């Protein structure tokens, strides 16, 4: 039995394009506003595409529309320079498309201004990156780089079809987006990038050490062109972000940091996994309208790197401030100081942090760092106080008991108390249903050694007879 078209549409619960509701416009939130596509509003464009996919444009209207679209594509009405603006850089032999945007330093991207990121101190960059070579770096003399590529595998077959560089220029923050209209554009684009890079001393990226810069370096090598990436100091923000926020945020992707740290909300964005497809579709159709969201996604990535640098710097500038309301974030900073052997900062910040009502695992970690920092600075009274607190809060912790006993044995010369600490902790471990734990063997060995020393001092008298 044959079913007419309207009946089929009704049974499939499909709506005609004219029946589709138009959602009310939504105001942007602390980020760059997405321009409407060429040829109408977002709602109209969405409705048109849905109509085409469902085949609901009728007869001659549909055919006429398709013919007009084909004509406009043929004459280049939807080429990237006409859709997005910008300009074509180069000559007839080799050229590429460049889109430039400029933002005042007072422009807020989420909760932070671009100027806050560019005013970050070199000392903060060095600490966040654990790289002293960045101590003299100035973000106003740095270039923020990001790429969009044909894949994530890397290697010679992966192409960076969109390369973005953000930098301070003439009192503004400028974002240059270099785009390949075809594979033949690559030499011209790389030559232009090399010329721009010669102006800077530092490059800032997000996962650029592992992906973006090695990929670009490969492209330069394939075209037998010099590349000066190795001459630039490099701050990779992904590693700095993980040092600060991974303890609290298991996902330290740029998108999640935007939501959880920067307060950035994207509108009209294209998901990362769809971006290579959009470029390949453009190569086939020469219709750049679907690329608007790609350029927006890429530009927001660069702006977010700037404000992420500002967020890092503000936390290092005011470690006691509201930015550290989370226990995990504050402890991450203390851990960073410890890693960099800044033991005075560890002792000061750690003692203050212990005033918090933090979860036991975090408190244990902090007490361990404090006792080790005190020992390495030779501040023995503080060391013993932190060891005592560690043992008092975690009496069944073999590592804490061992460290305290070691201090009492060798530094405080209090063998009787050292013996009692070992004995009491081992009694708790023996009574625990979990049984033997890591460090218990070492603690038993320490107890035996202390008892031998006590026996020698007291002629074999019972160790329990002594006092503290």
Q: What is the mean pLDDT of residues 140-156?
A: 88
By mean pLDDT, which of 29-43, 84-98, 211-225 is the weakest? 29-43
Query: Could you report the per-residue pLDDT of 315-344, keeping only the tens digit for each?
Result: 887 765 445 578 999 999 999 999 999 999
Separation between Cα atoms, residue 463 and residue 259, nearest integer Å: 60
Contact 184, 322 (CB under 8 A): no
Q: How high is the pLDDT of residue 154? A: 66
Query: Could you report the per-residue pLDDT of 251-297, keeping only the tens digit for each?
Result: 999 999 999 999 999 988 999 999 999 999 999 999 999 999 999 99
Q: How high is the pLDDT of residue 314? A: 86
The pTM is what?
0.80
Separation between Cα atoms, residue 420 and residue 410, nearest integer Å: 15
By mean pLDDT, which of 45-59, 119-133, 141-155, 380-394 is the weakest? 45-59
| Percentage of the chain lying above the pLDDT 70 cut | 80
Tokens of 21: 């509701």
In this model, does residue 458 exceed pLDDT 60? no
Domains of the chain, start order: 80-317 (3.30.420.10), 322-465 (1.25.40.10)
In this model, does residue 191 exceed pLDDT 80? yes
Q: How confident is the model at residue 425 (pLDDT cuts 50, 70, 90)?
A: very high
Q: What is the mean pLDDT of residues 218-241?
A: 92
Q: How confident is the model at residue 49 (pLDDT cuts 50, 70, 90)?
A: low
By mean pLDDT, which of 15-19, 73-77, 151-155, 438-442 is the weakest? 15-19
């Amino acid at each position: 039995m044959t079913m007419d078209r309207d009946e089929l549409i009704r049974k499939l619960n499909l709506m005609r394009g004219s029946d589709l509701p138009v959602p009310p416009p939504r105001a942007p939130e602390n980020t760059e506003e997405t321009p409407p596509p060429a040829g109408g509003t977002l709602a109209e464009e969405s409705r048109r595409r849905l109509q085409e996919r469902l085949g609901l444009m009728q007869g001659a209207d549909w055919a006429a529309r398709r013919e007009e679209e084909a004509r406009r594509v043929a004459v280049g009405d939807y080429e990237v320079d006409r859709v997005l603006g910008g300009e074509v850089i180069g000559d007839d032999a080799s050229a590429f498309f460049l889109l430039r945007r400029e933002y005042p330093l007072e422009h807020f991207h989420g909760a932070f201004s671009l100027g806050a990121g560019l005013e970050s101190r070199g000392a903060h960059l060095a600490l966040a990156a654990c790289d002293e070579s960045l101590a003299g770096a100035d973000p106003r003399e740095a270039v923020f780089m990001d790429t969009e590529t044909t894949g994530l595998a890397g290697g010679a077959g992966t192409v960076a079809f969109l390369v973005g560089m953000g930098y301070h220029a003439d009192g503004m923050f400028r974002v240059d987006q270099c785009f390949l209209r075809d594979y033949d554009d690559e030499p011209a684009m790389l030559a232009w990038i090399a010329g721009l890079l010669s102006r800077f001393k530092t490059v800032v990226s997000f996962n650029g050490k592992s992906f973006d810069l090695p990929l670009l370096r490969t492209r330069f090598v394939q075209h037998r062109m010099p590349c000066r990436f190795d001459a630039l100091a490099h701050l990779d923000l992904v590693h700095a972000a993980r040092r600060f926020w991974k303890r609290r945020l298991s996902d330290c992707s740029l998108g999640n940091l935007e939501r959880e740290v920067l307060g950035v909300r994207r509108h009209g964005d294209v998901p990362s996994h769809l971006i290579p497809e959009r470029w390949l579709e453009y190569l086939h159709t020469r219709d750049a309208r679907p690329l608007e969201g790609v350029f927006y996604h890429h530009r927001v990535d660069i702006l977010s790197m700037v404000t992420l640098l500002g967020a890092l710097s503000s936390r290092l500038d005011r470690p006691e401030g509201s930015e550290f309301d989370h226990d995990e974030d504050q402890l991450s900073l203390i851990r960073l100081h410890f890693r960099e052997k800044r033991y005075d900062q560890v002792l000061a910040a750690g003692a203050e942090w212990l005033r918090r009502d933090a979860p036991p695992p975090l408190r244990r970690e902090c007490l361990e760092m404090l006792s080790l920092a005190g020992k390495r600075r030779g501040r023995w009274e503080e060391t013993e106080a932190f060891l005592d607190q560690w043992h008092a809060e975690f009496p069944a912790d073999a590592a804490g008991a061992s460290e305290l006993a070691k201090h009492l044995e060798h530094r405080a010369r209090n063998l009787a108390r050292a013996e009692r600490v070992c004995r009491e902790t081992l009694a708790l471990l023996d009574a625990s249903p979990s049984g033997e734990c890591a460090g218990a063997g070492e603690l038993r060995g320490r107890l035996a050694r202390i008892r031998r020393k006590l026996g020698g001092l007291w002629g074999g008298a019972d160790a329990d007879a002594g006092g503290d």
